[in-house]
Structure 1
Amino acid sequence: MSFEYTPPKYAQLIAELERRIDSGEYPPGSLLPSEHQLMAEFAMARPTVVKALGVLRDQGWIVTHQGKGRFVRGRPAIPTGQQVRAGRELLDRREVQASSRLLTAGEVEAPNRIAAYLGIKAKSSVVLRRTLVEHDNEPTEISSTWLPVEVAQGTALVESEELKQGVRRYVEAAAGTALDHIIEHITARNPTKEECTLLAVKSSAALLTVYAVACDATGKPWVVVESLLPGDRHELEDAYPIR
């Protein structure tokens, strides 16, 4: 059976802008086309263009000067740890900025894997926040945040309103400690019946699951952020120095 993969629109825009910067069409120091110009040229919605530009900024391709626009920096050096990695992006993502719909906010029984990641007893109660993320009106991700009840109680994390800050801010304030590092686990599986409906995929589809376990400096885990991604709509990439 033949298989064709079409990257999401924002990823296509990222690739084209990177190509133009690499080729010298957009030389270092030059002003990047505005959001409206890119929307018109590529026939894309503003959220798609903004997401692509945000990735390019975070990766070091461009820089934003308030009131002046976005300027080209050129091909970035190999990431040295300052690049926004997947787990950190999940922790810092604000629900009010994402094209998302809150599905769940409340206490549930922790699945075995989540209980193990949080270092709690199996079937303990945890707080779950689950959102469906969309781009260009297409479901692209189910994002779930799992927290110990004592961390989430009394905070916006248990409310059915979209979070105005990233999860990390709420967790650090409630725990009274800074999150120091993230341990990522990546697995693949088939979707459940509910996930088939939410993501508009078949039961035979391959889903990538990224678990980001955020810990303090002592190694104590405080929160798990899970990102469920249809394999035909996402590509995971990382780069790091070998010495």
Structure 2
Amino acid sequence: MNNLAGKIAVVTGAGSGIGKAVALLFAERGAEVHALDLNADALDAVVSTIANNKVNGKAIAHACDVTKQGQVIKLFDSIGRIDILVNSAGISHIGKCDSTSEEDFDRVFQVNVKGVYNCLHAALPLMKKSGKGIILNMASIANNVGIPDRFAYSMSKGAVAAMTLSVAKDYITEGIRCNCISPARVHTPFVDGFLQKNYPGKEAEMFEKLSKTQPIGRMAKPEEIAGLILYLCSDEASFITGCDYPIDGGFIKLNN
């Protein structure tokens, strides 16, 4: 089940968090993983971990800025064939509409929306040439329900969900599947950094408070998110396209 032997996968944001967990799991399941991130040192650590684990797959690090279309196209063309694309790179922002500056709005848009578009734009011609391909985009519960103080972030994830549907519709006859997932809070380095910056000395208290906003009573682990991504990118999910899968500890349906 969920064997990726012989598959070539591109994973953005692979230096940490969910992207890192996806890169590690995909390599374990036999894929050749092209790991993309701005942080070259973090990428090297991920690739080294995969090499040291002596798994069936392998990983190649690519320091890349997904907001730069020319850079993305050049890199994807150099890879040559892409069977799977996981758009995991993204940033967050805290603020309501009237407290979000134009600079912050543009920054979130550039990474979370244009970055996804750039990778889609570069990967789709290669997938069309192969006559097949699988795309998994990272949306959020924020594109399903209203999240306080997340105006720009919610905007960006709503765009990701819409792009997912558009790509799924436009390329379904060319053997290309496109889905997205909508996680709730996931315990990543971003969460730890956020707590240290905004709640010094109260990190544990605030972590517990944020964890309990999910009905299941905790945050997700990156590995749990990676498990769903693996399934949706596997041959076992070959009948699934144009879908958004919540993975949220009951947040959307049970948080009354």
TM-score for both structures, normalised by structure 1? 0.25
| Bigger Rg, structure 1 or 2 | 1
**Higher helix proportion:** 2
